[in-house]
Amino acid sequence: MLLVSFTGAQSTGKSTLLDMCMSLLFGNSERDAYTSPVRDKWVFIPEVTRLIKRQYGVNINEQGSDDTQLLILNQHLINTIQYKQNRFKEGSHYMMDRCIMDGYVYSKYLHSHGRIEDSTMNIAESMYRRLLPSLDAIFYTHPEDIPIQDDGERSIDPDFRDEIISIYDDLRSEGWYGVGGDFVILKGTPVERMELIKAKLRELGATF
């Protein structure tokens, strides 16, 4: 069974592609996947950061704090543990909107700006190294030609987005700290990106 995820800076098309994948693999794009395994045994996890904001009222984006990041990191751990449990009980594939790579990248940004303590950053790095190898594939949504869109929750600060993209670029040059699964860079239109996703899923043995 597969554990795959999108990763990338805000407003680079992750949610759009997840919805397209839900339509492809489930037949609709209703984003209630936290509760329901779906047809062909796929489970979609469309929220992490916004879920945390709604549940606990913490600040997110460039205003994130130690509490924010610790809650987000914990949710990434929960998602991975749930996948491992369901893999043996129900045989479900999991597809996530974000993964521990996002948690690590945004923690690096907040740490560099004095928003989180060294101890929180150390936890982020430990979780990154621990959880990343669990992923069979990571789909990086390249920011090329995608403008920032205001959805009422994501940051629309271009400097913040550019710095996040720069951290991803640095990770890429460092070899992503030993990604366990395949790393796929998604470029082009949403349709072109979907073709790359479908090709990788088929290569990994998924059927749809």
Look up the pTM and report it. 0.88
Decide: 91 and 1 in contact? Cβ < 8 Å.
Answer: yes
Q: Virtual CA dihedral for 189, 10, 42, 1, nearest 10 degrees?
A: 100
Q: Which of helix, strand or coil describes residue 39?
A: helix
Q: Please state, in angstroms and rounded to a whole number, the distance separating the CA atoms of residues 159 and 150.
A: 15
pLDDT in tens, 42-92: 888 887 888 899 999 999 999 999 999 999 999 999 999 989 887 766 667
Cβ atoms of 158 and 148 within 8 Å: the answer is: yes
* pLDDT tens column, 105-163: 999 999 999 999 999 999 999 999 999 999 999 999 999 877 666 565 666 688 999 99
Tokens read off for 6 = 């999108």
